[in-house]
Amino acid sequence: MSAKLIHKIELWAKLLTAAFRSHSNQQFYDHISDSYDDIFVEHKQHAVKIAQLLVREFAGQESTTQILDLGCGTGLLSNILSTRGFNVVGIDFSQKSLVLLHQRYPDIVVLNADVANLPIRKACCHAVVSLGAWRHFTDTQKAMDELVKTLTKHGVLIIGYFPPSYAGTIHQGRRPWAKFTGQFYQWVLRKLGYIDNVSPDLESHTIYLAKRYFESVDSVRSGSHWRLIVARNLRKCPHRD
């Protein structure tokens, strides 16, 4: 057995152990924070794609562009954006993840908070990004309401990735039984106290929500199987007045 395979088995063992020891998404991510980047290696391709999109969007303005990384975890995306010159604030509910982020990237500002009540002043962010965290939010309508408050009129929202993978690592595919296995997976997780919405309807619902607030909403290819939702330019929303 190769060392690489042994390492992968060890990571999966840690993932499963953390799942059964935890009773909420927050506890789970606290438990796996030190192995997060090794487990969710596919996230890097999406992080790089998001950075490319934002560099194109704000070319030459990186140093004056404020980005909110919603569900920043241990800082993969936040760091990539920061190294490209953006001003980044990372928000996550996992305190242990934020401690690791701060140790690795001390120049990145981090806040321990929940999406339901973002401690960010209105209309101060030029972009909000959320990689892999969207499927964990209990109320995506509330999440959208909160995050658009932080955006400037011409702000950009990027949410990824779709379709969500089981446990963030196993691609669903399009086989006939995919919907059933997704429902069973979510039922098991609810029994354990987690939320991990891998429904194929999550993408269309998120696009529907985004179109209520943004003038332009696109689906952009990222990697072999996935897409990012990219929304630009806020409509006039009563709750922003």
Q: What are the residue ranges spanned by the domains of the chain?
A: 3-240
- Using one digit for the tens of pLDDT, what is the confidence trace for 2-38? 665 565 566 556 666 766 676 677 887 777 787 777 7
Coil, helix or strand for 69? strand
User: CA angle, 229 as apex, 203 and 124 as ends, to 5°?
Assistant: 125
User: According to the model, what pLDDT value does residue 6 have?
Assistant: 60
User: According to the model, what pLDDT value does residue 81 have?
Assistant: 98
Provide the pairing of β-strand 226-234 with 125-131: unpaired
Residue 42 pLDDT > 90: no
- Using one digit for the tens of pLDDT, what is the confidence trace for 94-105? 999 999 999 999
Q: Are 91 and 111 in contact (CB under 8 A)?
A: yes
pTM score: 0.87
The reply to whether CATH 3.40.50.720 applies to domain 3-240 is no
Q: Are 54 and 127 in contact (CB under 8 A)?
A: yes
